[in-house]
């Protein structure tokens, strides 16, 4: 483990300005956007390339120091938590767009490159990067790969895994591993599929070859208001049932409407209890035909208002409630925990009723903003963590919500990952044999206890004590 001279050793490996150990910095890095578990690292380092990451990881192995990869810190399950202390290896300095191959529609980027900036760089060539998590203006490609992030357009275009062709990764011992390349269906693809979504537990991705998609010829966007969340959910089912697969199908409930109205002055029809954002894209005639059918279905399902975007500016305005909704909820309470579970679309009304009931039972305000098209829920628990017992209440309510997703035939995560937040839920969803098999799959890459420990798989050696320490201090 780190000694008194460790800081000097790290500065020799990198440079003085690339190693941070001050108290303020450690507080800034003691959690990601999941606020319920906190653990301070020994140091934070900022390598600029794969070789520097490799040197730091080799040093961690030699000194038996745990290490944790971290991008922008926007993760929502504690995946970038320094669970056993050690060194946080930040990729924020690794921001280069290394290659942009327009002809083959691929790009090679460092893992600290911001998601939205890749789309901006490719836009002048009529291309974009399809995975678009709500944090895309700040989240990095490395974090998106670690969590297999999705976003509002996942329904039609898929999650990050469908857009990664090759990876450069530093293994647990500092070895640099190259997998895949600038083409799809590479012989290494099965290994890449294991790494994407592994939450940094098998190594640190430093570069990636990613797929770029052509801009759709036309985009049609509608925001429909409903007098109940149930009516909005039933409209989603009705749209899918006629064979339309929109680019996006997003629902925001009344609490979100109230928050964005207060924050941005957005106005919706009187009596709006839910908003349904629908986007269709493709060739102009096909997109227009689809959105006309969508409007007909919305009206048949009792929509109390329809807003149709006439141009890109109006489209951005309609998206505002979805893109800014969670941030606006900060007006309701100072602490927000955004959960992530998946259920069959037909179970949406039942699940939303359950979320409201559980929130009330535990003294929490609940709001819902989610990817309705693929049943990926994001219940938001709003409270003040300074009030005694509220952290425990949020943890208990969150566990009940995730277990209900499993009961309804769903999954514990759609895009936020397991991290430390859902470790207990893994034991509900999977048998001991299932978990053992997953551990064996991870052992293909390593059996080290240093590489992002205490994440994803429960009952890892030495992790129970650490969980008690974080949660005992938090509650």
* Torsion angle defined by CA atoms of residues 272, 274, 275 and 278, in that order, rounded to the nearest 10 degrees: -140
Summarize pLDDT for 197-211 with one digit per residue, the tens: 999 999 999 999 999
Residue 475: inside a domain = no
Residue 300: inside a domain = yes
Cα distance between residue 432 and residue 56, in whole Å: 35
Residue 274: inside a domain = yes
Residue 166: inside a domain = no
Total structural domains within the chain: 1
Residue 284: inside a domain = yes
Whole-number CA gyration radius for the chain: 22
Summarize pLDDT for 35-88 with one digit per residue, the tens: 999 999 999 999 999 999 999 999 999 999 999 999 999 999 999 999 999 999
pLDDT confidence of residue 462: 72
Average pLDDT over residues 397-414: 97
Write b or e for each residue in 212-239: b if 16 or more Cβ atoms lie within 10 A of its Cβ, otherwise e: bbeebeebbbbbbbbbbbbbbbbbbeeb
Cα distance between residue 250 and residue 135, in whole Å: 16
pLDDT classification of 475: cutoffs 50, 70, 90: very low
Residue 317: inside a domain = yes
Q: Is the pTM of this model over 0.85?
A: yes
Answer yes or no: are the C-beta atoms of 67 and 56 closer than 8 Å: yes
CATH of the domain at 257: 3.30.70.2190
Host domain of residue 232? 218-329
Whether the per-residue pLDDT at 108 is higher than 70: the answer is: yes
pLDDT confidence of residue 470: 58
Mean pLDDT for all residues in the chain:
94
Poorest-confidence range of 161-170, 289-298, 437-446? 437-446
Summarize pLDDT for 257-283 with one digit per residue, the tens: 999 999 999 999 999 999 999 999 999
């Amino acid at each position: 483990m780190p000694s008194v001279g460790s800081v000097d050793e790290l500065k020799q490996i990198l440079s003085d300005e690339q190693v941070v150990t001050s108290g303020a910095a450690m507080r800034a890095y003691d959690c990601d956007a999941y606020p319920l578990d906190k653990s301070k690292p020994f140091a934070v380092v900022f390598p600029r390339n794969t070789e520097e990451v490799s040197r730091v990881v080799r040093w961690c192995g030699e000194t038996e120091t745990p290490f944790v990869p971290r991008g922008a810190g926007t993760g929502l399950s504690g995946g970038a938590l320094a669970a056993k202390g050690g060194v946080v290896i930040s990729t924020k300095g690794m921001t280069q767009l290394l290659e942009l191959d327009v002809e083959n529609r691929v790009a090679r980027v460092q893992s600290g490159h911001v998601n939205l900036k890749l789309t901006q760089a490719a836009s002048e060539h009529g291309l974009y990067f399809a995975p678009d998590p709500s944090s895309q203006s700040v989240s990095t490609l490395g974090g998106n790969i670690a969590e297999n992030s999705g976003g509002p357009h996942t329904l039609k275009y898929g999650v990050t895994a469908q857009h990664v062709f090759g990876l450069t990764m530093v293994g647990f011992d500092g070895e640099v591993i190259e997998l895949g390349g600038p083409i799809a269906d590479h012989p290494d693809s099965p290994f890449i599929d294991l790494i994407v979504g592994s939450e940094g537990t098998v190594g640190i991705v430093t570069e990636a070859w990613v797929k770029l998609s052509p801009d759709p010829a036309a985009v049609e966007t509608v925001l429909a208001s409903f007098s109940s969340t149930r009516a909005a959910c039933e409209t989603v089912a009705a749209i899918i049932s006629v064979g339309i697969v929109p680019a996006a199908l997003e629902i925001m409930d009344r609490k979100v409407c109230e928050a964005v109205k207060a924050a941005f002055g957005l106005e919706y029809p009187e009596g709006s209890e839910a908003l349904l954002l629908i986007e269709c894209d493709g060739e102009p005639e096909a997109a227009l035909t689809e959105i006309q059918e969508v409007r007909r279905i919305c009206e048949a399902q009792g929509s109390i208002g329809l807003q149709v975007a006439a141009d890109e500016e109006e489209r951005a305005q309609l998206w505002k409630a979805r893109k800014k909704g969670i941030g606006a909820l900060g007006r309701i309470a100072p602490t927000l925990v955004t959960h992530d579970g998946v259920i069959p679309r037909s179970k949406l009304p039942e699940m939303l009723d359950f979320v409201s009931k559980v929130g009330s039972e535990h003294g929490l305000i609940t709001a819902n903003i989610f990817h309705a098209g693929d049943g990926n829920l994001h219940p938001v628990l709003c409270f003040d963590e300074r009030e005694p017992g509220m952290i425990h209440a949020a943890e208990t309510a969150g566990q009940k919500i995730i277990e209900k997703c499993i009961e309804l035939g769903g999954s514990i995560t759609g895009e936020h990952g397991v991290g430390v937040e859902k470790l207990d839920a893994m034991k509900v969803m999977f048998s001991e044999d299932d978990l053992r098999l997953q551990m064996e799959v991870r052992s293909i890459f390593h059996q080290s206890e240093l590489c992002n420990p205490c994440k994803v798989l429960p009952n890892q050696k030495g992790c129970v004590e650490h969980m008690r320490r974080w949660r005992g201090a938090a509650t």
